[in-house]
Homo-oligomer: A and B are copies of this chain.
Amino acid sequence: MTRPSIDVIAIGNAIVDVMAPCTDEDITRLGLAKGGMTLVDTDQAHALYDAMGPAREISGGSAANTLAGLAALGAKCAFIGQVAQDQLGEVFAHDIRAGGISFATPARPGEPPTARCLIFVTPDGQRTMNTYLGASQFLPSAELDDAAIADAAVLYLEGYLWDPEEPRAAMRRAIAAARAAGRKVAFTLSDAFVIARHGDDFRAMIAAGEIDILFANEHELAALTGIEDFHAGITALGGQIPTVVVTRSEQGAYAIHAGEHAEVAAEPVAQVIDTTGAGDLFAAGFLFGFIRERPLAECLRLGAICAAEVISHYGARPEVNLTELVATKLG
């Protein structure tokens, strides 16, 4: 087995976030599910955008955010995802490449446009996401570069992208390519609705030993395992998957790796401004420690530090030099 030249290659939605502050009354009035992620069609996206206050656009996408964190920490990364040939597609491509991440998927001509996520942020920092998938759901299996996947130590997959058919087929092919090359497969469950629709797929993949590292939050863990009790649930999953990492918002995070258990408290934050990307950046910090073969507790601490940075400002990509931040925090 040759030494891979890329640390992490990820497949995910190529999304630009459109973010605006709102009140709790706005959430109620618009009939949104506070704190959740809802897929919206073109008409719903237009109606919600019309109802949204002045916004700002910042590149997003769960796996892409994780890579932005990993690259900021010093990892070599590559991204696979589908944008359209439009201005938002150019914005997404610019931002990911400007972060030092390889991105070679050609933009898709014609309709639909590049994906966007309309994010309403309440004064408590909670984000309510409404995703118009657009071009992102048409990532063709043919666009996968098996050689690039075989050349990365970790293949990182975003659960959100398991929902549309074409990217699901692409991800299945990517898993096969990574496993054939002896690489690790990391998967983030993304949202409870994904598990509601595709839980059987995930459970079958886990049973078949196709997932090496699983990221979830506690709600997704319960949905996947059907076990209410947190410790019972993660312990059961830890018996099936080599590395399981579960985030618990302000209660910190918990991981099991090869039978070893570790836990971390949430990193203190002066003020939670916008929780968008918290899980994505936790995964970035954890994976960075993991690929550098740091102790399990340190991997969790790295995740907590990166998550705390991203929730202290608008947008799901890091805004400070994460390498310096981590060096200061770890001493």
Contacts and interface: CB of A to CB of B under 8 A. Distances in A.
Interface string A58-92: 11000000001000000000000000001110010
Contacts of A252: none
B94 A113 contact: no
A232 interface: no
A54 B99 contact: yes
Interface string A290-319: 000000000000000000000000010101
A193 interface: no
A53 interface: yes
Given A54-B98, A55-B98, A87 B68 contact: no
Contacts of A173: none
Given A49-B94, A87-B88, A113-B87, A58 B59 contact: no
A71 to B, nearest CB: 10
Contacts of A54: 59, 68, 94-96, 98-99, 317
A57 to B, nearest CB: 4
A86 to B, nearest CB: 6
A96 to B, nearest CB: 8
A271 B90 CA distance: 32
Interface string A89-119: 0010011101100000000000001000000
A85 B191 CA distance: 35
A231 interface: no
Contacts of A264: none
Nearest to A319: B21
A52 interface: yes
A172 interface: no
Interface in A8-59: 20-21, 49-50, 52-59
Interface of A: 20-21, 49-50, 52-59, 68, 86-88, 91, 94-96, 98-99, 113, 315, 317, 319
Given A49-B94, A55-B94, 11 more contacts: A53-B99, A54-B59, A54-B94, A54-B95, A54-B96, A54-B317, A55-B91, A56-B58, A86-B87, A87-B87, A87-B88
Q: Which 4 pairs across A and B sit closest by C-beta, in order of nearness?
A: A57-B57, A87-B87, A54-B95, A56-B58
28 contacts: A20-B98, A21-B319, A49-B94, A50-B94, A52-B98, A53-B99, A54-B59, A54-B94, A54-B95, A54-B96, A54-B98, A54-B99, A54-B317, A55-B91, A55-B94, A55-B95, A55-B98, A56-B56, A56-B57, A56-B58, A56-B315, A57-B57, A57-B91, A86-B86, A86-B87, A87-B87, A87-B88, A87-B113
